[in-house]
Structure 1
Amino acid sequence: MKRIIYPLLVLVASGLSARAQTPKATPNLNLEFEQLAKQTRQPTGWWVPADNGYTVTADSVNPHQGRYALRLQSTGEVNTKAFGVASIKLPVAFRGETVTLSGFLKTENVQNGYAGLWLREDGSSSTLALDNMSKQNVRGTTSWQPYSITLPLEKGAESLVIGGLLTGTGTAWLDGLKLTVDGKPWEQAPVRLVPHFKAEQDTVFVRSSGITLGSLSGQQLENLAVLGRVWGFVKYYHPAVARGEFNMDAELLRVLPRVLASSSTAARSQVLSAWLASLGPVPACPKCREPDPKSVRLQPDLDWLMDKRQLNPSLSEQLTFLRRNRNQGPHYYVSTVPRIGNPMFEHESSYAQVPGRLPDDGLRVLALYRYWNMIAYFFPYRYAIGEDWQRVLPEFLPRFVAARTPEQYRLTALALIGRINDTHANISNDSVLTAYWGAYFAPAQVRFVEDQAVVTGYFDPQLGPATGLLRGDVVESVDGRPVKDLIAERRPLTPASNEPTRLRNIARDLLRGPTEQVRLVVRRNGRQVPLTISRYPSNKLNLAYNNGTLDPAASAWRKLPGNIGYLSLGTIQSKDLPAIMEEAQGTKGLIIDIRNYPSDFVVFSLTKYLLSKPADFVRFSAPLATYPGLFLSSSLLQVGSGKGAAYPGKVVILVNELSQSQSEYTAMALRAVPGATVVGSTTAGADGNVSAIVLPGNINTRISGLGIYYPDGRETQRVGIVPDIEVKPTIQGIKEGRDEVLERAVEGIKNSE
């Protein structure tokens, strides 16, 4: 929703040391592309992906300086998710306030995308900052021009990735790149001190836990459930763990066999009590006070600390003391984003090197514990999950243990992720799941309309119609399986905040599969029609979802009949708003379409034209890092500058299940405009900045990490943006190529005169 930046844990008295990071030799970044690999004609030291619809080579005909420029060119087989890129990575072995990448760009016939330099800062577990020049929107045909991008050099940055990219079609050249830190060549920047933690030296279990779990008894399952709760609590509350003195993955794998073997609550508590004591004494914390209840949005769920069925009195007392004297400094495993507040999980091993891509039994239990505790302590919508999160841990223990293949393990993890009911949560970029769902896509777009799977458009203007599928066809079966059965099977494996969005995601992959053809039965004009259609790899299609009636590549602004303005945020650029809003002043009404993902962040730049005075529109909740599980509410945030006259016409906002995250946040801001009307259907219900999570086996997922609320305290999570006037497409409207939601908005403006 906003640019994400993160801090580095500062050096503290114990648990780590620091040394100057001095590379043996300054690497040659080959920023002018004068050194080439003989076989590929690509710059030496640079990474270029293969077979993604783009060629990247040196060009001796069009250099800006020297002998060569780097040329990125589409081959015609690209989609909106692909991009041509060349990049090089270097360690952040220097200090400074800002880092700048500059260079020269030239373009030729760049369409449906843009060209740019790009600069990314990576931390220990995720991306900290990124600029890819998307907002500068360099497209079309341009001569050599200088460009630069600058980012704050985040203290948590461990590496930089720099280079150039091209999205869409056409050709781009780059040349003469320079990397500077605080305006000086990066090689001349001061050497950086790098922290070293004791936890990093504990590498016994880096490849395997050595733990094998067979069939588990009731006592053993109870032991493991209690261990998961205690381990997570200690991980996030203990001051020594926070200082980086202990590798908590390794601590878990050492104590797990002893806890598993415990024959009673007393025996289990004795093992856990001794383990907790081994982490060292917990000093008294005079600063550990309870916050003002008025500022608290969500309290930690820690009633189990007093549960005599789980813990004996001695262990309960130890843990309660730890709660009262919890860590108050920086934390090795988690921090919060400055100026934003969502959590960033750090120093979490992906165990990507695990042989066979299936983590062993101990590491799979670790995966469950890691995720379950991250949700328990850092998910702002824990209360809105729809069930008691405490019960989920023992339910999934036998399922994680029983997973015996990489596919079973990932599907089990996906089912767990789905239980938090967050559309932001899923598993991304996973080759095992790609093979499970299939690598081939039908060139037809399907959405659920009137509770049926309906063809609403095409992902390719030639291949789509060639299937014989028509807009308005109702898909009844796929490869002999009824659609209703496929929905039931895929529902628990499709994370989403609400049912409309779950069906949206199921529809996207309904015709996907592992083979190049698929057999369908569709209902058309009351008759069943059997079809066998071709499927294609993703790079053959433009898989961007749209509403099926408006050209997604069309201009963001246009005038509709009746002197009504129409503004699509899917292709908006903030720099164009002054001219757009000047032209809009004479219109009877303004329709703002957010049935898409905004191409630019316009919450403040757009609303200043629509409000005559500032208006409250949102408040946030964020975790308190020094009190895990507790979330504090922020003050209200306003939109509208209060300068100049506001747009005088009627404002109508269009939303549907495609409206997600930044789209929903933007709709909240626009709803603050007096008299504004929201038309359409419930949105995705996933708002707030996301936080990345990595699980053993290199499973990458994320959560909504920041709570988003209306000024009166109502959340949008799961609920979505509820329209003032509900309008949904109909099958008949799809057949006729109509946009019934837009039609209702136009009608409303005309009737408001």
Structure 2
Amino acid sequence: MKKQSLSLISLTKSIFLTCSISLTLSFFSTLYAQTTTAAPSTGSSITLSQVNSQQTEDLVLLGKVWGFLKYYHPKVAEGTLNWDEELFKVMPQILAAKDKNQRNLTLYTWAKSLGEGHTTVVKDTLAVRYQPNLSWINPKTFGNELSQLLLKTTTYERKPDNHYVKIYSEDMPLPYFKNEAPYSSFKYPDAGYRLLSLYRYWNMVEYFYPYKTTLKESWDSTLKGLISSFVTAKDEMAYKLSVAAMVAKIQDSHVVLSIWAEPLLYEFQGKLKPAANVVFVGSKAVVSKSLADATNDAKELLRGDEIMSINHQSIETILKERLPYTAASNYPTQLSRIATNLLRTNDTVMNLTIKRGDAVKEITIKTLPWVKAIVKENENEPSFKLLSSDIAYLHPGKLQVKNLDSIMKIAMKSKAIIIDMRTYPRETMFTMAVGNYLFGKSSAFCKMTKGSVTKPGQFSYLSDSYMENIKIGKDTSDYYKGKLIVLANESTQSFAEMSLMAFKTGPNTTIVGSQTAGADGNVTPPIILPGNIRTVFTGIGMYHLDGSETQRIGIVPDIEVKPSIAGIKNGQDEVLEKAIAFANRN
């Protein structure tokens, strides 16, 4: 892989993480233009409003067999069959099955009708981290004939370009899901298409999500648990919230979902808000900045106020309602996402219970349209400054790489350099570029995995030749010898987390702050679900050199520091203060 290829990967990540939802998915839709099957004028003809325990079990197995054949059987891979329509043909028979024997016979007849493929033995050329988990295919569940037929299917030769998925390129080894009909006219799809939505996404994750093994809840249990939600969704809102709950289940901070920007759910969240920003300190919602700070108007929200309830609903209750729909790798990042929208409403006034100092009080404040309620923080922060005569500070979110040489000529003279990674680099080349000044040798800092179309569910480490281009530093004696201190928190995500991993290769590197977002690796092109819902997830696995996980865990700081309510009220940056104190320590 050429170095400019890595730049392309980094560029797509940068665009993804800094754009709005609509712009992001629009960009990817253009970059990875795909052909989709036109939606039929009528629905699936599946009428279903509730399911019993046996039907739930049967629908679970139908979804798993449908997805297995989609990615494993060469006949389906050809694209000559409309695999969505094939699902709707067999689903009524499964729902009507009197017992497991009848269900299994139906599935056997269906799978058998696809014919046989050419049997082959594929030798792994790369080190494998995970093999496909096909333990669910067993005689106890399916009987001998069906389980043997499905297992035989795993031996068939598969081409690297399935009709529905391929690995995008050698330089960008992401799963690229293609030829998936959006069914745009079905804003509220019928029961068949709702289950198709569940099956389509579940199987994409099952075979191509690198972090499935890190999930709290087994992915099999998730499928069973979601069947009822999708079947009983009574309207467009219920369907879309079911999708939101589904994508949140993979616990991935990279997940973006287009429905939150659509009118229905945008208005559901609220088009108005007070002119104040909120962060969570532990589980407490605290105002980090307000437009009223300038006048210190006690009748308004002020910096350091703890919000205890909103319109007579406690913060604890609000969190319980919103957490299931909030996609993020870990709890602090979930709270960060919720904080952004916590004060949204459609009411022109908002009743709040707040704690200011030791006093608890009720206030009623006006709300504004979203655009007018924006409160900017740290907008005047420079890309580089000297905090003292011998402590340099770099802000990658503002820094242009073209200015790096002149900046580092000054910074290299200091006893400590603080890099604030509580942001996303303005230019992703920053990390490798600054590494040439910081480290005296070229060093590896991570391992990466990719999925497989020829053996779905397998994840292999990228080759040594690929990883040779993903190193930091250069061989030189003229490198920085002082302390390198890197700041991090839940806003440190994806490439920013990869940057922390790279910086940690240095012997004098210390990370100060709190748990990062726990979403490392590039994102997939858009995943399309019925109703033209679009989402993404992490498509490449990222691990420490010893093979340990970064997903959900994030990058663990050497010195943990979290903002306090008192610090916020006083306008302190407690993480930076701790970093400065460490820099001054002998």
Query: What is the TM-score when the length of structure 2 is the normalising length?
Result: 0.91
Deviations 1:571-613 (A, max 9, x none): 1211111111112121111000011121110221111111110
Distance 1:479 1:632, change over 3 A: same
1: distance between equivalents of 2:177 and 2:471?
Answer: 30
Kept after mapping to 2: 8 A contact 1:595/1:657? yes
Q: Out of 196, 211, 218, which is 2:53 matched to? A: 218
1:540 lines up with 2:375 in the alignment: no
1:616 lines up with 2:449 in the alignment: no
Displacement of 1:369: 0.4
Displacement of 1:247: 1.7
Alignment of 1:397-546 (within 5 A): 397-428=227-258, 429-458=261-290, 468-542=300-374
1: distance between equivalents of 2:157 and 2:296?
Answer: 59
1:581 lines up with 2:408 in the alignment: yes
Displacement of 1:539: 2.4
Distance 1:469 1:613, change over 3 A: same
Deviations 1:451-499 (A, max 9, x none): 3111111379879979721111110110011111111221112121111
Indicate the SS of the match to 2:244: helix
Indicate the SS of the match to 2:65: helix
1:332 lines up with 2:167 in the alignment: no
1:694 lines up with 2:528 in the alignment: yes
Alignment of 1:2-41 (within 5 A): 3=8
Kept after mapping to 2: 8 A contact 1:682/1:720? yes
Distance 1:463 1:737, change over 3 A: closer
Q: Out of 584, 590, 597, which is 2:424 matched to? A: 597
1:319 lines up with 2:150 in the alignment: yes
Counterpart residue identity of residue 77, structure 2 = A
Kept after mapping to 1: 8 A contact 2:416/2:483? yes
Indicate the SS of the match to 2:397: helix
2: distance between equivalents of 1:463 and 1:690?
Answer: 44
Distance 1:275 1:204, change over 3 A: farther
2: distance between equivalents of 1:316 and 1:377?
Answer: 19
Indicate the SS of the match to 1:330: coil
Deviations 1:287-322 (A, max 9, x none): x32526x8111121210111422x121111111111
Deviations 1:404-442 (A, max 9, x none): 111111111111111111111242333322122112222
Kept after mapping to 1: 8 A contact 2:117/2:153? no
Kept after mapping to 1: 8 A contact 2:329/2:519? yes
Task: Tell me what 1:106 maps to.
Answer: none
2: distance between equivalents of 1:290 and 1:208?
Answer: 43
Unaligned 5+ runs, structure 1 = 7-79, 86-117, 129-155, 159-195
Task: Tell me what 2:204 maps to.
Answer: 374
Kept after mapping to 1: 8 A contact 2:561/2:574? yes
Indicate the SS of the match to 2:75: helix
2: distance between equivalents of 1:297 and 1:3?
Answer: 26
Displacement of 1:643: 3.9
Task: Tell me what 2:173 maps to.
Answer: 341
Distance 1:462 1:693, change over 3 A: farther
Pick the structure with greater CA Rg. 1
Task: Tell me what 1:56 maps to.
Answer: none
Alignment of 1:649-668 (within 5 A): 649-668=482-501
Kept after mapping to 2: 8 A contact 1:566/1:590? yes
Distance 1:347 1:217, change over 3 A: same
Counterpart residue identity of residue 285, structure 1 = T
Alignment of 1:265-344 (within 5 A): 265-279=100-114, 281-286=115-120, 288-291=121-124, 295-309=127-141, 311-338=142-169, 339-344=171-176
Task: Tell me what 1:673 maps to.
Answer: 506
Percent identity reads 37
Counterpart residue identity of residue 574, structure 1 = V
Query: What is the TM-score when the length of structure 1 is the normalising length?
Result: 0.71
Displacement of 1:278: 2.6
2: distance between equivalents of 1:627 and 1:282?
Answer: 17
Counterpart residue identity of residue 708, structure 1 = M
Q: Out of 740, 748, 752, which is 2:574 matched to? A: 740
Indicate the SS of the match to 2:445: strand
Displacement of 1:394: 1.5
Indicate the SS of the match to 1:401: helix
Counterpart residue identity of residue 253, structure 2 = T
1: distance between equivalents of 2:75 and 2:516?
Answer: 44
1: distance between equivalents of 2:343 and 2:302?
Answer: 15
Indicate the SS of the match to 1:632: strand
Q: Alignment length, in residue pairs? A: 563
2: distance between equivalents of 1:442 and 1:121?
Answer: 31
Displacement of 1:370: 0.6
Task: Tell me what 2:14 maps to.
Answer: none
1: distance between equivalents of 2:423 and 2:10?
Answer: 25
2: distance between equivalents of 1:2 and 1:205?
Answer: 41
Kept after mapping to 2: 8 A contact 1:296/1:632? yes
Distance 1:564 1:308, change over 3 A: same
More strand by share: 1
1:556 lines up with 2:383 in the alignment: yes
Unaligned 5+ runs, structure 2 = 1-5, 12-17
2: distance between equivalents of 1:663 and 1:465?
Answer: 38
Distance 1:505 1:408, change over 3 A: same
Displacement of 1:654: 0.1
Task: Tell me what 1:388 maps to.
Answer: 218
Distance 1:579 1:460, change over 3 A: farther
Kept after mapping to 2: 8 A contact 1:685/1:721? yes
Distance 1:530 1:497, change over 3 A: same
1: distance between equivalents of 2:181 and 2:476?
Answer: 50
Kept after mapping to 2: 8 A contact 1:269/1:312? yes
1: distance between equivalents of 2:226 and 2:295?
Answer: 43
Indicate the SS of the match to 2:351: strand
Task: Tell me what 1:711 maps to.
Answer: 545
Distance 1:434 1:334, change over 3 A: same
Counterpart residue identity of residue 449, structure 2 = S
Kept after mapping to 2: 8 A contact 1:207/1:351? no
Q: Out of 75, 92, 95, which is 1:260 matched to? A: 95
Distance 1:500 1:628, change over 3 A: same
Distance 1:674 1:459, change over 3 A: farther
Kept after mapping to 2: 8 A contact 1:679/1:741? yes
Alignment of 1:130-169 (within 5 A): 157=33
Displacement of 1:365: 0.5
Indicate the SS of the match to 1:303: coil
What's the C-alpha RMSD, in Å, of the aligned pairs? 2.6
Task: Tell me what 1:240 maps to.
Answer: 75
